Structure 1
Amino acid sequence: MKEKVVLAYSGGLDTSIIIPWLKENYDIEVIAVSVNVGQEENMVEVYEKALKSGAAKVYVDDLSEKFVTETIFKAIKAEAKYEGKYLLGTSLARPIIAKRLVEVAHLEGAKYICHGCTGKGNDQVRFEASIAALDPTIKIIAPWRIWDIKSREDAIEYANKNNIPITVTKEKIYSVDANLWHTSTEGGDIEYLENEHQNHVYKKCLPLEKATNTPEYIEIYFEKGIPTKINGKKLSPVEIVKVLNEIGSKHGIGVIDIIENRLVGMKSRGIYETPGGTILYEAHNILESATLDKEALHFKQMVSLKYGELIYNGLWYSKIREAIDAFIDETQENVSGTVKMKLYKGFIKPAGIFTENALYDYSISSFGDSELYDHKDAQGFINLFTLPLKIKAMKKINKENKYEDIS
């Protein structure tokens, strides 16, 4: 009886050629697992393509809901961004996919899991770290680290040689990762820093030149940091992201062009489109600014940076991530209410905060008189606050005077 390998199968260039390559180089049965996390592909075609490419069995699972509730919503509450910009679209999907790969490996009695990640990318670490955390006995096959194919051009030639249908060409050689949350585009002319990225790379967003000329107001309601309604209408988690993707797209919101520091040590450039996510992060940030006290907010901002790094580095299934979640959940107890925003030509403008939990108090923050705050109180506070500065300055003056007396 042949050994089995579970392949993370997307139907793209890399995983399409891996099936025949595995059969050529291993006496092994290939079980393809295709996880739908909202990438808007025809999953029936993906299923049939895997079988035609030589898979013995194919699993197709829609885990979009889990993707949103188990990773995306946690990231929103934490406002996790990698290097202050990237909303972690690829990174957040990997733990969901990896968990399903391990589940199928257990169902099928497979000792191996195979992925199509390159040896230069972050995803190889994310998949393998998650798999190791869930079942360290499973062995990994990573073709890009061992086969003779050295480039995407080589991969295209291998696919053509084996009559494997692909959509990538040597002219349009971008590497694209898409899901419900985002689309990332890398490779090709984007790899040259002197090149402006072109509008044809966009998959989710309209370029600013084609964005609507009509501003739009939207209202998002949060319950303990989790979005539940748009414009007063309660929607499912997946519907919330889809609706905001559509709204954000037509206003050209959510496109970033960044150079990031990969986990494996090199820098890379990517074009990321996250229209709905950008709106949700901004709305959450606006609401949190009104409902979270200064010390908790400032400490959470530091924690958010670490949380983003953990997600980016593939450490979702780690104790520290779970511990940070506990802290984040505590900070979200009063992050409930509605945020109104104006969207226009790539910009998001706050247009109103409606919450019973606001720590902002007009009677105190206003320039007018207040029972809880007397303008005269500021003098004593400033005297105490500036005391260390005064002491330092006095010491410096005394020292300089001493030297002058000696001379």
Structure 2
Amino acid sequence: MIKNKSKKDIKKVVLAYSGGLDTSIIVSWLKENYDCEVICYTADVGQGEELSNLPEKAISTGASKIFIEDLTDEFASDYLYKMLRSGAIYENKYLLGTSIARPLIAQHMVKIAQQEGADAIAHGCTGKGNDQVRFELTVMALDPSLKVIAPWREWDICSREDALDYAAAHNIPVSSSLKSIYSRDRNLWHLSHEGGNLEDTWNEPLEDMFQLTVSPEQAPDEPEVIEIEFIQGYPIKLNGIALTPANFVKELNQLGGKHGIGRADMVENRLVGMKSRGVYETPGGTILVAAHQDLESICLDRDTQHYKNLIAQRYADLVYNGQWFTPLREALDAFVDVTQKHMTGVVKMKLYKGSVTPIARQSPYSLYNEDFATFEEDSVYDQSDAEGFINLFGLPLKVAALRNLKTDAAIPVEAPDFSTVSNEPV
């Protein structure tokens, strides 16, 4: 049985580190409250931030060392593409950009903790959000001997002003005392916006908030047509050019952003129980999802396609809830892999003023047969056969109707009179 570690047992901690105000003061807070060594860990998942100054900053705030890893290729190939092939979309809008990155980051933190002989992992997630769950479930799944420290659930810092006061009192350098009115998370797949004027659901998002996409009204007046080639559900070529997964997403982000594609404004149900409003920009992901769905329309049979829609919803829940490293997700991946065996082909997409529209598709494994679908005379489908099919398909309806014709006329049906019923228990 794994015993929970107490504060005195914690000698070394790996901290998820961004270099911002919160994680900067967490380094000092951990040393002060746990009397432990702090190792910082930073994952590059395509957030587009300058990471070169982080080692100096981490060491100056009390960390013993820092690890910085470029995970963009692994993120795209092993996480984003798996999710894309599953069809997962949370509550019909959210393409799960933040959710899908957290298990990857936590997985590598566990590796560093094991490599460095750490006793615990720490993160700067608040006690109100979903990210705390995603980080901690990953740690539980991969190494339950590690303790997880969440300062926001322990300390008495309640605001940015409190954090700035703590930084000043402990001589922790912070780059700015100003804060964006929005809480943002960015990676290769998306950019999310929360807070500020978005907290009132009646407020329209301000245009200057968006960073990855132009306003559809300001997008080019001419549509742009692109071709995306898939092999077994994996995007391989863009306009005939082979690209790595990370570069594929980057290229589509540029194209989609230019045409104002990929904005989503939604009120979602957080795992912790509350509703929150988020505005997401996912230009490349939106294009890929639309193209993938369109290719499936010709490559999957009806029953498999309909059942896969159910699987996609459950897959989205697993990703959103931080349950990536679970037997169920692995089992669903096995199902998805089978559905994608014949998902090879090309989809032609039109990008225009916020919309992405599939306009043509082809596949060597297409189930669409023009001979069957044509309205002209053909030799493979006898239209008179439809009469027998309809008679059999509608037989339950016919039997029920015949019963009703017989019984409804003979047996008057009236609502019972409950006023005569005793209120006393039997």
For residues 131-153 of structure 1, the C-alpha deviation after alignment (integer angstroms, 9 at most, x for no partner) is 10000000011001011112344
SS in 1 for 2:52: helix
Specify which of 59, 68, 87 is matched with residue 51 of structure 1: 59
Question: What's the Cα RMSD here?
Answer: 1.7
1:163 shift after superposition: 4.4
Deviations 1:345-391 (A, max 9, x none): 01112221121111111111111122221111111111111111111
Measured in 2, the distance between the counterparts of 1:242 and 1:397 equals 64
How many residues end up aligned between the 2 structures?
A: 404
Contact between 2:61 and 2:172, CA under 8 Å: does it hold in 1? no
d(CA) in 1 for partners of 2:49 and 2:55? 11
Flag structure 1 segments of 5+ consecutive residues without an equivalent.
none
Residue 146 of structure 2 is matched in structure 1 by 138
Runs of 4+ in structure 1 deviating by more than 6 angstroms, as ranges, are none
Task: Determine the structure 2 residue equivalent to 1:165.
Answer: 174
Q: How does 1:74-223 map to 2 (within 5 A)?
A: 74-159=82-167, 162-167=171-176, 169-170=178-179, 172-223=180-231
Residues 258 and 155 (structure 1), Cα distance of their counterparts in 2 relative to 1, 3 Å cut: farther
2:342 maps to 1:299: no
Q: Residues 208, 13 of structure 1: CA spacing in aligned structure 2 closer, same or farther, 3 A cutoff? A: farther
C-alpha contact (below 8 Å) 1:159/1:166 kept by paired residues: no
Q: Structure 1 pair 175/153, CA: closer, same or farther in 2 (3 Å)?
A: farther
In 2, the alpha carbon distance for the partners of 1:36 and 1:230 equals 24
Paired position in structure 2 for 1:327: 335
Partner residue in 2 for 1:27: 35
- Classify the secondary structure of the residue corresponding to 1:309: helix
Report the CA distance between 1:160 and its aligned residue: 5.2
Give the superposition deviation at 1:187.
Answer: 1.4
Is the Cα–Cα contact under 8 Å of residues 25 and 172 in structure 2 kept in the other structure? no
Residue matched to 1:285: 293
Task: Find the aligned partners of 2:17 and 2:74 in 1 and give their Cα distance.
Answer: 19
Contact 1:156 1:169 in 2 (8 A): no
Read off the aligned partner of 1:93 and give its amino acid letter. Answer: A
Q: Which residue in 1 is equivalent to 2:363?
A: 355
Question: In the TM superposition, what is the alpha-carbon distance from 1:156 to its structure 2 partner?
Answer: 4.3
- CA offset at residue 154 of structure 1? 3.2
- The secondary structure found in structure 2 opposite 1:60 is strand
1:315 Cα shift? Answer: 0.6
User: What secondary structure, in the 3-state scheme, does the structure 1 residue paired with 2:46 have?
Assistant: coil
- Unaligned regions of 5+ residues in structure 2, if any? 1-8, 413-426
Letter in structure 2 aligned against 1:112: A
Given candidates 45, 51, 70, the residue that maps to 1:62 is 70
* Aligned-residue offset at 1:106: 0.8
Question: Using the alignment, how far apart are the partners of 1:341 and 1:168 within structure 2?
Answer: 45
Give 1:369's match in structure 2, choosing from 364, 370, 377.
377
Amino acid paired to 2:88: A
Match of 2:408 among 385, 400, 404: 400
Structure 2: how far apart are the matches of 1:168 and 1:288?
A: 50
Greater Rg by CA: 2
Q: Aligned with 1:116: secondary structure?
A: coil
* Alignment CA distance shift 1:363-1:26 (3 Å): same
* TM-score w.r.t. length of structure 1: 0.96
- 1:345 matched to 2:353? The reply is yes
Q: 1:165 to 1:72 in 2, by over 3 A?
A: same
- SS of equivalent to 2:291: helix
CA shift, 1:23, in A, is 2.2
Aligned residue identity for 1:165: V
Counterpart amino acid of 2:66? V
CA distance in 1, matches of 2:150, 2:202: 33
The change in CA–CA distance for 1:206 and 1:291 in structure 2 (over 3 A counts) is same
With over 3 angstroms needed to count, the CA separation of the structure-2 counterparts of 1:92 and 1:140, relative to structure 1, is: same
1:308 to 298, 313, 316: 316
Aligned with 2:31: secondary structure?
A: helix
CA distance in 2, matches of 1:276, 1:13: 30
Distance 1:12 1:273 in 2: 22
Aligned equivalents of 1:361, 1:153: Cα separation in 2 = 66
CA distance, structure 2, for counterparts of residue 228 and residue 166 of structure 1: 41
Q: How many Å apart are 1:190 and its aligned residue?
A: 1.2
CA distance in 1, matches of 2:359, 2:74: 32
SS at structure 1 position matched to 2:188: coil
Secondary structure of 1:43's counterpart equals coil
- Length-normalised TM-score, structure 2: 0.92
How far apart are residue 184 of structure 1 and its match? 0.8
Supply the AA of the counterpart residue of 2:219.
Answer: A
Who is 2:261 aligned against? 253
Deviation per residue, 1:187-246 (Å, 9 max, x gap): 122111121111222121112233222210000000000001000000111110000000
- Residue in 1 that maps onto 2:79: 71
Match of 2:234 in 1: 226
Which AA in structure 1 matches 2:333? Answer: D
